[in-house]
Structure 1
């Protein structure tokens, strides 16, 4: 029949029967809410949510809000046919893809409590989550950008968030690829720290060292992201960031920059030099012992040292505020829980 809509069978391309059924319903009947789909198709809420995640990741469904209601609609069947064929087609495993897989493999996600891993199924949901996490940050934001060109859309979203972080006093550090000829350098807000490096392993954000986000698929950012809150996994990614940071190039300084201490770092180090304990230094400055430990740990990460003995050597060589001597075998600090 002329004008008849031909709906592709998504099961042929690896999607689940529930995802295929939901897509067919949306394509033939038009936009539906989750409640309408669950009722009409007799699918429980959990399976329906999984189906919608599949469709969103495949680019086959889109979500719109009408007041307080969330409506799902099908992407044009002709467009979906192209998308799902690309999804199952051979993917060239680039060097960047290999580095991403190696970095993720080092996290041993199979050993992590499932409650500490969350899949954000689309670019939109990832951006919304990033906005929430950024608004809650109080100490430090770390970012690795692997894109050769930051899109105008992405810059428009990230720029205001970065400036707002700096305004709140959050330490913002970003590492990006060096610009190619003809490509402008990233716009870095005043107060942020920025370096460049090649062979970046993965696109990454770490929020206050308690949450990390990276792309679910490094070749398709529209496939969403993975959110981690497992302490060991987040610590692993934080250490990865600082290893890269130590060898990355600061494009705004041709020479090695001097060690610059914040007012808090200077105050803490001065008291420790005078023989104060961490707890006593915190009490003197109106800080908790946990904050003192966190500040020193962040300073050690920034300078690439593992313990206070190494920190004293680095600060002494730079003629910065020294720390009292500690045994050479002193181990790395661990923040109190």
Structure 2
């Protein structure tokens, strides 16, 4: 249409927008950033109208984004005020990482490991038997699989990596799922990941016996099986040199106390993230129809259900996504790659 400016988005349509809430920005700032990143530059009042938010909340969110270096204003030459443009999400995340994520000092991590082991060992007059050396990671994974298959009550984990290699991730995920499916409780501690995404098997988060927390520092890499057996790297600077398996009760108790201390001071990162949205087959069909331009009535006809049911389905989706209107739902679904377009147009029933 002539005379209508073309909005330039800072990203490809359908690409995922990382959550800024994870980097301690407000949910309003995250929502406004998603809108700018997927829909292109907007005036503040346009954002307020499309998102269904009060102007004061949009203004606050834009000020927060400007301070964080996530969005910048440029003069518009009219009474509506400046036009706000999002920086590319990859650049924004990189900036926030540098500001807020403290990457682990590997030398400090080695010192922390030795200090933790020494402190536990020093509390025992005699270590005695109950120490087994597993000389390689392959043997360690094999032994860990045996122990987890026999596990009955609780599995404690401290991870000191901020990213995982493919082999470790592939080996660990099935073991964890099998354990929680048997009703064994898993509690896992980790460092904030270097790529801002949770490095935990997503399926585990749906399990009632799984809990995960993060903290900016961890004392050592550790696994404890049923509070009876503990495993930790023989050399924290080189995991390929294998692990020590400890079954001496006093040492294991000390390592459990170490875990509990850090667990009490860690937090669940999902409290600062975007809730995942899992769609049923019928919901995916509905979203696809609405994204192609159908109204509630025409979508209902295609799906052979009532328009009232379509409205109820959309309301339920908005409640699950924690959003207030269909525009916000479209942004959430687009970010989760559930639809090819970043917005579900709000259409009146015909």
Q: Normalising by structure 1, report the TM-score.
A: 0.46
* Larger relative contact order (Cα-Cα within 8 Å, sequence gap ≥ 6): 2
Q: TM-score of the superposition, structure 2-length normalised?
A: 0.44
